[in-house]
Structure 1
Amino acid sequence: MQTNIIELICNSCSCSHTDAQEYLDAEIRNLRELQEVDDLREDDIEMACSNLGLDLDYQEYFINRLAGA
């Protein structure tokens, strides 16, 4: 799924694979920081999807990443 999500970000943001990976890493880092201070909300995960141009179906991807899966 990682490669697929990078492709989707590339297409939605019109960016390179490297940039897409950096954008994805930044969103995950932001969500982890919110999780660490116990301030993570469902809206934050929805916003991460929106920021990357992903459908809300990808919320599960972020939830799994935050859970360590």
Structure 2
Amino acid sequence: MENSIIKNICNSCSCNETEAQEYLDDEIRNLRELRDLNDLRYEDMEQACADLGLENDYVPYFINVLSA
């Protein structure tokens, strides 16, 4: 699933795969920080999708990454 996310980020942000991976890693890092502060909300994952130009269909991806 991560490959499709990277491709979608590339398309929405007009960037290459390396940059897309960095953007995704930054969003995941931010969400983990919020989780560690007990301040993570569902809306934060929706915002991460919006920041990356993704549909909210990718929220479950972030939930899975954060629960691992």
> TM over 0.5: same fold?
yes
* Percent of paired sites with the same residue: 62
TM-score by length of 2: 0.98
Q: Which runs of 5+ in 2 are unaligned?
A: none
Query: Aligned partners of 2:3, 2:55: CA distance in 1, in Å?
Result: 16
1:2-17 alignment to 2 at 5 Å? 2-17=2-17
Q: What residue in structure 2 maps to residue 50 of structure 1?
A: 50
Q: State the secondary structure of the residue aligned to 1:35.
A: helix
- Number of residue equivalences: 68
Counterpart residue type for residue 58 of structure 1: Y
Give the aligned CA root-mean-square deviation in angstroms. 0.4
Taking the aligned partners of 2:60 and 2:47, their CA distance within structure 1 comes to: 13
The normalised TM-score by structure 1 is: 0.97
